[in-house]
Every structure is written in C-alpha cells, then in structure tokens.
Structure 1
Amino acid sequence: MKLLLVDDHALFRAGLKSVLPRLDGSLTLAEAGSCEEGLQRLREAPDADLVLLDLGLGDGKDRLHCLRRFRQADPTLPIVIVSAHESRDTIAAAVNAGASGYIPKSSDSALLIEALRLVLAGGIYLPPALIAGSAPSAQRPPTGLTPRQQEVLALLAEGLPNKAIARRLGMAEGTVRIHVTAIIKHLHASNRTEALAKAIRLGYVATLEED
C-alpha cells in the first residue's frame, strides 16, 4: 500500500509516521511539507492508494485550494483531510470539493486507522460529532426523501459503502444503488460525495440521525 502524507508541520508528520504502519504492514509512505511538494510527490508516484492532506495548504485565502489541485490532478484518488478545523461548514465544503473523508487532528490514533480503512474500502468518513449534532426538531428542514432513502442517506453519512449498507438494511446491493441514485438525483448532485456534502449543508444528516 502506498500513502502520501502532506502537512506543513514536521512534528505532526513524524507522529503520523509512527502510527500509519498499523494500517498495513507493507505500507510505503511518502511525505511532503507543502502543496507544491505534495503534487510533485504524486507525479512521481501516481499509483498512490490514498492521500492524507492538511487543510489550508497553498493559497492562504482559500483553505480548499490544495485539495482542489489534488482532486484535479487525480479525480479518483481517495483524499482524506486531517485538520484542526472542525466546523460543519468547513467539513461540508471539503467533502463537496472532493474529500473522501475528514479526520479532526484531535482524533486518537485508533480512530484515524479505522477511518482510513473505511475510506480505502470505498466509504466516506465523517466525524461522529458532525453526524450526532442536530438542531431542535422544529428547526429541521424536511428532506423530501422516502423513509428508505432517509435510512440509506444516514448510513452514507456514516461512511458505509453500498455493500455494507445492504447488509445493515437487509436488502440487495442493487437496491441500495437504486436508492443512492435517487438521493443523488433528488439533491441535484453529480455523485454520492457531492450529495452527502449537500445533505450536511442542508442539515439532513443531523435530521436523519435522530429521526
């Protein structure tokens, strides 16, 4: 497994380097201290399996600048943000810009490893606090989704891939794909990642968690 770590704090990179081998015994880790250096590392090793990226590298006026550049360089590569910023809007914006996961830097090492395994399995990782937090019922917007679609969306928010959602809900994986397609269409999104980002921004994820 090949992983690229991009963060401008050498001490933080050193800490992660001691933890990440738990992910895979044969892990090959490349690191970079800037967005430009990270993109160069990616060009040198285009077969990377995952990128761990700090938020805010590159253009100081746009926290997502570097994420967008990585996503442009490789539209399918899983990119997980590791950041000290934990606001709902920031996380939703990162997912909307193409992040496959968002791990707060306050997380412990066990959670980090489990989150990365989830993303590598095809899921999307979001902080539990983001999913659990919600506004009072009277303030929640209606989702416009069917009850089954709401269940599927809630599990998408947990980061589960289609196969795991099918097992959890006791339905065929093909049926899950149909529901996911309907959710994407309903939210006027182009893919499940964008749909999830819109659901977070609209407050649907928190709504579903307590319904």
Structure 2
Amino acid sequence: MTVRSADPLTQAGAISHLRQTPGLELVESPHRPGRGRVAVVLTHRLDDMTIVELRRLTREPGQRVVLVADRLREPELMAVLECGVRTIMWRSDATPSRLAQAVRAAAQGESHLPQDLLGQLMTHVGRSRRAAANALSPAVPAAGLAPREIEVLKLLADGMDTREIAAKLSYSERTIKNTISGLMNRLQLRHRAHAVAYAVREGYI
C-alpha cells in the first residue's frame, strides 16, 4: 500500500495511522510507485495534477485506488470514475479504522461510494439515458409521453372532446384521434380514461 498527498502533513498523518494497522504493509518511498496493491490518494480538491496521478495509478496492473477528498462535484465525480477509481471516501468520514477498512475492501476488488455521491451518479445516469432516448426519437420518447400527447391528455382531463381539443390546439380532429390512438396502442391503454389515469400516475399532468 502507498499513501500519496500534495500536503506533507496530511500524508504523514495518514501514514502514521495506517502503519499501526495490522495486516497492512505500507510502502512509503515515492520512488517505488505501484508496489502496493492499493494506493491511498488524499486531496483537498480535485485538480488536473490529481486526475493525471489517478489515471497513472489505475493503469498499473493490479493496482487499486482509494480516493479521500473533501468534496466532489458531479463533473469531478465523473472524471474520477473515468480514471478507474472505484472507492471514494469523504475526508470527514476517514477515521483510521474506516480508512483501513476501505483499503482492505479495495484490495479485494470491492467498490464503495458515499451515499450522496451514489445519488449524483444515479442522477447523471438518468439524465444521460433521457438525453440518449431524446436523440434517438425526440418527438416520441422510447417510454412515456410526447409533448403533443401531454397537451391532448391535459385537455381530455379537463373534459374536452376530440373536436374541442382540435380547436384548442389548432389541429385537425383526425390528428387528435391519431395522437390518442397512437399513445394508447404504444402504452397498451384500454380507453381514454385509462390514458388520463396513466398520465396522472406518472406525473405528466
């Protein structure tokens, strides 16, 4: 295991704590990179130099990285994950025992992210999937309702019939009928009331 930090005091403190942990072999020399199965990287903020170091470390065969940071914004989180880092700890949570536990887990190939970073990651994945779906078919989402369909369903929910909706939206009655029929077939809805109920349940109206 190696410990790396741009702050000598931070590095010395982490080394002091980890050296006292049974079962962990510490390699301190900066001239022997990659000798440990786990590299602990401590940083106050993520900068370009840290990203370069993370990328270099994760490219070494068998090497795993535990990143200890003050905070990471979403773009920084994505950059860290793209480097191949799979274990991240907040500095405020990095007690000696927790840090040692994270090192052991990383050595066994396990991953760990704080709960708030997991939330950021899920939000990012969801946004990326929606963007991909819209790029493939911007007018009709792969699952769900298109803008025109939502407009029609809102007016159906207000009690309007096909003719009134057509007049309100400046479409032909045939267009409105086709819009309703299309969404009902795509989503396997039985009738117009079912379509309105679906839209309400899914939060469209």
Larger gyration radius, structure 1 or structure 2: 2
- Which has the higher relative contact order, 1 or 2, with Cα contacts under 8 A spaced 6 or more apart? 1
